[in-house]
Amino acid sequence: MTHRPPWTAAQDAQLRRLRAEGADWGDIARALRRTPAEVAARGAAIAARQPPSDFAFPPDDPWREPLSAGHPRSWDPLVRGTLLDGDDYPLPCFSR
């Protein structure tokens, strides 16, 4: 029996995101380098669910104004599940 490292918050976030996007356990297992059984068990433990079959993302308005740098709608998905998750933009390293 091999010992598997514990699940990290970043892996949980990736599992939730992939599942919410409609990925199956096999695809998620390959992305996380785990077995489908491990991924399915962890998904059940953290309540990672697929969207309903009739779910559709709302269309984006092609005529909306551009988002500003660091807008939560663009910044949050970029940093979700990373060490920057929860940090506000701009980070101190971006200031001169």
Dump pLDDT digits (tens) for 37-83. 999 999 999 999 888 888 777 787 888 888 888 887 788 888 887 88
Distance between CA 37 and CA 28 in Å, rounded?
A: 11
CA dihedral for 68, 73, 77, 80, sign (positive or negative)? positive
State yes or no: pLDDT of 7 exceeds 90: yes
Distance between CA 80 and CA 76 in Å, rounded?
A: 6
Give me the amino acid identity at 28: I
Domain ranges of the chain: 9-45, 69-96
For residue 92, the SS3 value is helix
Instruction: Decide: 13 and 81 in contact? Cβ < 8 Å.
Output: yes
State yes or no: pLDDT of 1 exceeds 70: no
Q: What is the pTM of this model?
A: 0.56
